[in-house]
Structure 1
Amino acid sequence: MDINKFGKTSYLYLTAELKDNKTLLTDIKFSAPYKIMQPFIKDNKTKVILLSASAGIMEGDRQEFHFEVKNGANLEFNSQSYDKIHKMYTGCAKRKVYVHVEKNANFCFNPQPTIPFKDSAFENTMKIYLDDETASFQMSEIFSCGRYMRNECFTYRHYYNYVEIYRGDKLIYRDNTKYIPKLFSMSSLGMYEGYTHLANIFISKSNNTNIFLEEVNKLLNECDAVDGGITELINGDFSIRIFAFRAQILEDLTKKILSLC
């Protein structure tokens, strides 16, 4: 049976508002095992780091993240450490993420990489709503093959990640990832292509598309340790996928790409 070890859903609710030219958290709610560090301002963004008293994601865990980014606010979300998805015997863990970004606001969802242990199973659902073209959103997710040095390369049971991003009432991005190593050759062409780590990045449209494309391609070409590319989507937004053999390489490169926004 798929039982929540905490007996209830673990949640994090944050509301960010612009007050006196500073982005402040005006509403904060969380439950075990979560809490947050004291927010701080860097590069004109208010940064929030999620802390967890848990050793990682366990069988049956149910989690909800809810972010409200009000008009003019500029918020970045990070996590304290890598998300470790522990071994699960029968069930799975599930997370739901809801994001609402109002006009003239910006939100960057940039957690630490995810490591799926052997026999783990995780299902993530994200719904992001941008009020209009002045609402800006960036998302970075880094997913590894597992504990490579323990010979746990693609030995998890499954990993599902379903993402929908709306601008107004229009769907502008959908990603329906389903990794099931017993059914798919995860190292083959079209999957990880021999690599062990994958970065998946979404960035909403730029004021200067050509310059942004050139700068990202330059970063990708300059790093011999990665293989990846950038795609301009139909509405002017960007999807970037990058392969590597180490999470740290992808973290460093992602940081440089996000700094261009």
Structure 2
Amino acid sequence: MEKYSLKTGLREQTILKDVYFTPPFNLVEVRENKKNPLLEMMVMSSSPGILNDDFYDINIEVIDGSSLNLQTQSYQRIFVSEKGTNQQMHISVGDRAYFSHVPHPVVPHKGARYTAKSTIHLKNNSTLLWGEILTCGRKYMGEGELFQFKKHHAITEIYQEDVLIFKDNLYIVPEEINLKEFGQYEEYTHQGSLFFIAPATDVTERMDNISNRLSKEEGISYGISKLLDNAYVLRILGNEGQQLYKLFTEIRLAEDKLINQSVSIN
């Protein structure tokens, strides 16, 4: 089992209090301005991707009043895996705490089997921005690599005060369904989802700003829905992983900036 864990601390601004990792992982701080309240960490890996029978175990604790952005180094590749590959993430975000995570797209290679479970626990005053992007595989290797993975099953559960407020169950077995059909991917090859929740915040203005921005973007289809008065979910279909990642990162950077500003003022 390969694993990493981290826990934030507070000393005027957010600091890294506890960290642990096993190969192939490494965790490094990438916060350029050390005076910024937001702690920015990057997950680095010496492995080319998730290999057959790998099991990634990830634990993140963002304590009360702290703020963390967790970044990835590169695309997450999932290789041919007869026994399958697995990943589990357990995340807790404390009272008045902030956590943002928009990882690079997942690229399942031909023959890949992948199962992931992400469980996130929030307090009533927690803020969360959580993104996921799935590609069709190695698109530029030709038609023989498009949706040729065996299985992709990713479950995300988000709890607020132990009450389930959002569940995303993405289950794709290309051999069992025509993903080009109406109501599926149709002419697209990539899909992404982004979840946001913030305390005492009406997300209507944020949703309008995002919709206005995406309406000018070519080559995508999108939908954005209000789940609660203070929460929305955004879904995008497109044909370029980098395009979706760039759009999600724009949203993430805007929220990260607001956190730096609000914490500095307080």
TM-score, length basis structure 2: 0.90
Q: Show CA shifts across 1:134-168 (max 9, x none).
A: 10111111110001121211000000001110000
Q: Following the alignment from structure 2 to structure 1, what is the Cα–Cα distance between the partners of residues 250 and 48?
A: 29
1:238 aligns with 2:229: no
* Separation of aligned partners in 2, 1:100 and 1:230: 25
Cα distance between partner residues in 1 of 2:86 and 2:107: 15
Given residue 67 of structure 1, which amino acid in structure 2 is its aligned partner? I
Q: Is the 8 A contact 1:203 1:237 kept in 2?
A: yes
Q: 1:23 to 1:77 in 2, by over 3 A?
A: same
Matched, 1:153 2:146: yes
Which amino acid in structure 1 is aligned with residue 213 of structure 2?
Answer: L
Q: Secondary structure at the match of 1:81?
A: coil
User: Is the 8 Å Cα contact of residues 205 and 238 (structure 1) preserved in structure 2?
Assistant: no
Q: In the alignment, is residue 180 of structure 1 matched against residue 151 of structure 2?
A: no
Aligned to 2:126: 135
Deviations 1:116-145 (A, max 9, x none): 00000100001000021x101111111100
> Any stretches of 5+ residues in structure 2 without a counterpart?
256-266
The CA deviation string for residues 27-77 of structure 1, in whole angstroms up to 9 with x for no partner, is 000001101123425664211111111111101001111000001111011
Give the aligned residue type for 1:218: N
> Residue in 2 aligned with 1:4?
none
* CA contact 1:59–1:93 (8 Å) conserved in 2: yes
The answer as to 2:39 corresponding to 1:46 is: yes
Distance of aligned partners of 1:260 and 1:208 in 2 relative to their CA distance in 1, 3 Å threshold: farther
2:137 counterpart SS class: coil
RMSD: 1.5
Preserved contact between residue 219 and residue 253 of structure 1 (Cα < 8 Å): no
CA deviation profile, 1:181-219 (whole Å, cap 9, x unmatched): 001112222322211111111111472322112101101
Aligned match of 2:109: 117
Higher relative contact order (CA 8 A, sep 6+): 2
8 Å Cα contact 1:85-1:116 kept in structure 2: yes
SS in 2 for 1:32: coil
Within a 5 Å distance, the mapping from 1:1-261 to structure 2 comes to: 9-20=1-12, 22-41=13-32, 44-88=37-81, 90-132=82-124, 134-150=125-141, 151=143, 152-205=145-198, 207-234=201-228, 236-261=230-255
Inter-partner Cα distance in structure 2 for 1:195 and 1:224: 13
Q: Distance in 2 between matches of 1:77 and 1:189?
A: 36
Q: Confirm or deny: 8 A CA contact 2:110 2:148 kept in the other structure.
A: yes
Structure-1 separation of matches of 2:234 and 2:227: 10
Scaled by the length of structure 1, what TM-score is found? Answer: 0.91
Q: Which has the larger displacement, 99-108 or 232-241?
A: 232-241
What SS is found at the alignment partner of 2:41?
strand
CA distance in 1, matches of 2:253, 2:17: 26
Distance (Å, rounded) in 1 between the aligned partners of 2:6 and 2:66: 12
